[in-house]
Amino acid sequence: MSLAVTLSRAQEGIAAPQVMVEVHLSGGLPCTNIVGLPEAAVREARDRVRVAIQNTAFEYPNRRVTVNLAPAELPKDGGRFDLSIALGILAASGQVPREKLDDCEFLGELALTGSLRGISGVLPALLRARARDRRVVVPRENAAEAALVPDVDVRVAETLAEVCGWLRGAHDLSAPVGIPSDGGAHDGPDLADVRGQLQARRALEIAAVGGHHLLLVGPPGTGKTMLAERLPGILPPLSESEALETCAVLSVAGQVTDPVRWRRRPFRAPHHTASAVALVGGGSFPRPGEISLAHNGVLFLDELPEFSRHVLEVLREPMESGHIMISRAARQSTFPAQFQLVAAMNPCPCGYAGEPRCQCTPDQVQRYRARISGPLLDRIDLCVQVPPVALAELGTPRNARDEDSATVRVRVLHARRHALMRAGRPNAEISTRELERDCALGPAERRWFEQALERLGLSARAYHRVLRVARTIADLDGGAALLEREHLAEALQYRRV
């Protein structure tokens, strides 16, 4: 029989759809054709595979070789199908047995020497293969990444010859060896380095408990960036499912995951010159942007008004939905984007509004602040003023108010446990129906809250966001079932922009 079928995986967003590699040998002039909507890198596989097979001491069939990548409507790109194509050709020509091909998937790019090179997007492919209860062979370069996925039979190989020897039963392929994780332990910037700024510290703690978006406003040098960089240190570590999803995005982007720190929450801080595509992702073959690389972590935008208004506006939909869909003529890709936004800005173009040295006119200040649209500000839960710190306070030793990250993290973990027990997710992500159930107000509190909303002129979205923040404050206050007036009052003061 001159027909063989092997299995592989394509890359489509963070999904990894199955691809059947069908190889048929027939009479006629010797040539190799690859069909099934292959891109340039896949079409070039015929030359890589032929030379790799010859350099591995196998015989390349002197016949007409047709390779079909099914399903035909799915675009295929990259060198990830090289190993599967090579094994299909060898199986169709009777040089390797077909028995082990049925329940095994093969991923890897071939060098001309026959060695295997690592590819991107291995983690999503392993997650899908685990759901189908299949074995997977990957290059040794991807071994550390493959070891992160539990309950899947993964084998690693360095060369095409090793894989062929395994199929023939000559030897076994080794499994990837996992590296012990630090469990999300924090060893980065510590809150103890920040002096004063009690209100900003409080807002940072509330944001960490509920997963709320945060805006820090203040003159240059007051510690806005310091505070933002210390938010990951007080956040809970990623769960295994969250960590795998976050690492899957990094894998699709071609970034290497540190197996020791893979349970830590990501922190992304793009420069204000970043384009909309860099922020949300895109390209002819869509790749994740900064908001997806910050999935389950923190996206820090320093100097917020300096970003292009068009760039900032693309944040609005993913801030609500938690994902981003990128549509191109040939394909659509959806990437997760459940990020926590932390932004920092100055009060005016020079940064020193209200001080004698500020020469900004009211029109300049208005234009500067108008770079951030109302709908975007409406989606930010907490807005905090960060005033200058007295120089005398900077020179004093750390006191009890300047708590370190470990102390604050204990409170954050305890308070977030209340939300997880109620809804299984942080308060910023609960639905409107869950909000009505979990944010009960007494008659007096409801009347007071409605009057406050009318005086402040807040929108319906702001109403729900204030309730979510108040629920988080109540969780920090011991997880009270009913929201008290002080919880609502503190949440309302963070809506002052």
pLDDT of 314: 92
Residue 419 lies in a domain: no
Q: What is the pLDDT along the chain (497 residues), one digit of tens a residue?
A: 589 999 999 998 888 999 999 999 998 899 999 999 999 999 999 999 999 999 998 999 999 999 999 999 898 999 999 999 999 999 999 999 988 898 899 999 999 999 999 999 999 999 999 999 999 999 999 999 999 999 999 999 999 999 999 999 989 999 998 888 877 777 788 898 888 888 999 999 999 999 999 999 999 988 899 999 999 999 999 999 999 999 999 999 988 888 888 999 999 999 999 999 999 998 777 889 999 999 999 999 999 999 999 999 999 999 999 999 888 766 788 899 999 999 999 999 998 888 888 989 999 999 999 899 989 998 999 999 998 887 766 666 666 677 889 999 999 999 999 999 988 899 999 988 888 888 888 889 889 988 988 888 888 888 889 999 999 999 998 877 888 899 999 999 998 76
- Decide which of 390, 418, 449 is a domain's last residue: 390
Nearest partner of 478 among 411, 396, 423, 425, judged by Cα: 411
User: Which DSSP symbol is given to 493?
Assistant: H
Report whether 274 contacts 280 (CB < 8 A). no
Same-domain check for residues 81 and 158: yes
Backbone dihedral angles phi then psi of residue 410, each to the nearest 5 degrees: -60, -45
Q: For the domain that residue 321 is a member of, what is the CATH number?
A: 3.40.50.300
Which residues 6+ apart lie within 8 Å of 484 measured at CB?
A: 445, 474, 477
Nearest partner of 21 among 149, 120, 108, judged by Cα: 108
Residue 69 lies in a domain: yes
Q: Where are the beta strands (DSSP E) in 349-392?
A: 382-385
Classify residue 343 by burial, with Cβ atoms within 10 Å: 0-12, 13-18, 19+: buried
Residue 402 lies in a domain: no
Report whether 439 contacts 210 (CB < 8 A). no
Same-domain check for residues 160 and 209: no
* Rounded distance between C-alpha atoms, residue 309 and residue 435, angstroms: 32
* Rounded distance between C-alpha atoms, residue 374 and residue 388, angstroms: 27
Backbone dihedral angles phi then psi of residue 406, each to the nearest 5 degrees: -65, -40
Classify residue 138 by burial, with Cβ atoms within 10 Å: 0-12, 13-18, 19+: buried
Same-domain check for residues 116 and 9: yes
* Rounded distance between C-alpha atoms, residue 342 and residue 383, angstroms: 10
User: What is the SS3 assignment for 307?
Assistant: coil
Q: Is residue 115 left, alpha or beta, with left meaning phi > 0 and alpha meaning psi from -120 to 50?
A: beta
Which residues 6+ apart lie within 8 Å of 26 measured at CB?
A: 2, 63, 64, 66
Structure tokens at 110: 């071939």
Residue 42 lies in a domain: yes
Report whether 298 contacts 268 (CB < 8 A). yes
What global pTM score does this model have?
A: 0.90
Same-domain check for residues 195 and 161: no
Residue 483 lies in a domain: no
Report whether 320 contacts 465 (CB < 8 A). no
pLDDT of 218: 92
* Rounded distance between C-alpha atoms, residue 289 and residue 315, angstroms: 11
Backbone dihedral angles phi then psi of residue 85, each to the nearest 5 degrees: -65, -45
Backbone dihedral angles phi then psi of residue 82, each to the nearest 5 degrees: -55, -50
Same-domain check for residues 136 and 209: no
Residue 121 lies in a domain: yes
Q: What is the number of structural domains in the chain? A: 2
Same-domain check for residues 139 and 201: no
Which residues 6+ apart lie within 8 Å of 159 measured at CB?
A: 56, 113, 114, 115, 116
Q: CA angle, 396 as apex, 391 and 398 as ends, to 5°?
A: 125
Classify residue 358 by burial, with Cβ atoms within 10 Å: 0-12, 13-18, 19+: middle
Same-domain check for residues 270 and 367: yes
Classify residue 13 by burial, with Cβ atoms within 10 Å: 0-12, 13-18, 19+: buried
What domain range includes position 353? Answer: 191-390
User: Which DSSP symbol is given to 410?
Assistant: H
Long-range interactions of 94-101: CB distance < 8 A, separation 24+: 95/58, 95/59, 95/164, 96/164, 96/167, 96/168, 97/167, 97/168, 98/4, 100/166, 100/167, 101/4, 101/5, 101/6, 101/7, 101/167
Same-domain check for residues 138 and 218: no
* Rounded distance between C-alpha atoms, residue 281 and residue 259, angstroms: 25
Rounded to the nearest 10 degrees, how much is the dihedral formed by the CA atoms of 392, 394, 395, 400? 100
Q: For the domain that residue 51 is a member of, what is the CATH number?
A: 3.30.230.10
Which residues 6+ apart lie within 8 Å of 183 measured at CB?
A: 237, 263
Residue 486 lies in a domain: no
* Rounded distance between C-alpha atoms, residue 203 and residue 131, angstroms: 41
Same-domain check for residues 204 and 347: yes
Classify residue 421 by burial, with Cβ atoms within 10 Å: 0-12, 13-18, 19+: exposed
Same-domain check for residues 102 and 233: no
Same-domain check for residues 245 and 202: yes
**How far, rounded to the nearest angstrom, does the alpha carbon of residue 132 sit from its chain's CA centroid?**
24
Q: Where are the beta strands (DSSP E) in 99-229?
A: 104-106, 109-110, 116-117, 135-139, 154-157, 214-217
- Decide which of 153, 168, 183 is a domain's last residue: 168
pLDDT, tens only, 17-36: 999 999 999 988 999 999 99
Same-domain check for residues 133 and 239: no
Residue 395 lies in a domain: no
User: What is the SS3 assignment for 336?
Assistant: strand
